[in-house]
Structure 1
């Protein structure tokens, strides 16, 4: 009798285990995990994600952080995803090739967003941004500036680049030191996904943001001189080890479709003609068709 109970228990465990595995597999097939640059939080969570779910019946699950940070987590096998959206083409190189895990074999350039200086309209420095040159305001005593880590996020690196170029243009050799301090100044450097919230809550007076962030959230912003213009160049790819390749393809197809591109424009992103970089043969045929239609 005891032996029969043991056998039955083993069989029941096997059945339950198989059922759990099937449920997990079904969940994977119904969910698309999108790892994306933190500057796109509002766009992805409030617009693209819900629209994709309504259109396809699939579930959108997003994760936002600095592009370099996400790439480091993918390479270090700390995070898996289906789609990766970066704010700089250079980030993809860190995931390309055998030495980097062969996570990326191709990517598509699909949008751009210039870097601006945004400020809190309730800040005591708000009026100064309307009457003085933006770099002069950033040197005001007591102003609280926010930016992202140049090692973890392209926007952080672009910020240092912008200020370096401004120092040359305006003949102020010490401008970077006066405004930013050290590259990793702990009084300024914050996670990308929290920067907007810090500004809106009044914890910051000003910060460096892409136009999609300032446009989307009605943040007043200053456009640096044309000679200083620096843009985020958004790219997307389906990761080679994506658990849900089919779902990933449907998401990318949606984002590059006429509907998806319209949503991008609504959120202040400059939509450009999509261009494939890398192994074109690895691009899903349905996606290639969408890219061709967008030309």
Structure 2
């Protein structure tokens, strides 16, 4: 749990009498979300939601796949799940615990190659094809696990597309090694820090991350690039479904979407998938056609 959420938990735990006396609107809304949205949630959406007085944002960031596994296995319980891949919602529906009955796609963010401006490879990335630089001896590449995180899976996909587009057999394996290569694979929530501290020279990041953190980056061509597709849902067993509904309505509404765009996300839809009858009434206005 990141610092803001940890402190909130400590305060609530230390002052039970005060917490018990709060109105329903001030109750915590627990949100499990893709680690690539850390800055957005901590400095944008979370504080803005808190300021409305409709609830208190309490978040936990991690790889979307890992979070989905923890929800399915009963290791984490929350009100809301925000994923970087629509497919992960399907792993939580129906016979997989029936925790997700609907979800809404609300934003996208293309994959980019971020780099350390102090790396000895930085100059090459400005003057040479990126796929040639990634093959240079000694370059330290950071990426996430393709099994546990959609960004890791998109990284593999991009390299496979590049291999075909540039007619370079073996490019993907030469750059990435094995899919779970321990020399490259890092938890999503720590990958940015490793780049900023000089532990890796380059990494695969979403546009929202490089925009928020001012990471120099190489944009990938349109025929190769892949993008995160962010979705949000209220989990069926949410402890605070009313507060969760308010949070989702805010994020999908005009103020929330403006914050998303300021943090480098491309807003889409919002597009509903799943059981429309299970969607809270509060959300129907923001999901209406033309919104």
Query: How far apart are the structure 1 equivalents of 2:290 and 2:60?
Result: 27
Of 190, 194, 197 in structure 2, the residue corresponding to residue 198 of structure 1 is: 194
Of 10, 14, 30 in structure 2, the residue corresponding to residue 33 of structure 1 is: 30
CA contact 1:274–1:294 (8 Å) conserved in 2:
no
Of 21, 25, 40 in structure 2, the residue corresponding to residue 43 of structure 1 is: 40
Larger CA Rg, structure 1 vs 2: 1
Of 45, 49, 57 in structure 2, the residue corresponding to residue 60 of structure 1 is: 57
Aligned ranges 1:211-222 → 2 under 5 Å: 211-222=207-218
Of 270, 280, 286 in structure 2, the residue corresponding to residue 290 of structure 1 is: 286
Greater helix fraction, Structure 1 or Structure 2: 1
Aligned ranges 1:1-295 → 2 under 5 Å: 23=20, 30-97=27-94, 99-292=95-288, 295=291
TM-superposed deviation, 1:291: 2.1
CA contact 1:108–1:236 (8 Å) conserved in 2:
yes
**TM-score if structure 2 supplies the norm length?**
0.91
**TM-score if structure 1 supplies the norm length?**
0.90
- Structure 2, unmatched stretches of 5+, are 1-15
CA deviations 1:181-215 (Å, max 9, x no partner) are 00000010000011111111111100000000011
Q: Secondary structure at the match of 1:219?
A: coil
Distance 1:54-1:25 versus aligned 2 partners, 3 A rule? closer
Give the root-mean-square deviation of aligned CA atoms: 1.8
CA contact 2:25–2:55 (8 Å) conserved in 1:
no
- Structure 1, unmatched stretches of 5+, are 1-18
Query: How far apart are the structure 2 equivalents of 1:24 and 1:147?
Result: 45
Q: Secondary structure at the match of 2:223?
A: helix
Q: Secondary structure at the match of 2:172?
A: helix
CA contact 1:257–1:294 (8 Å) conserved in 2:
no
- Aligned residue-pair number: 275
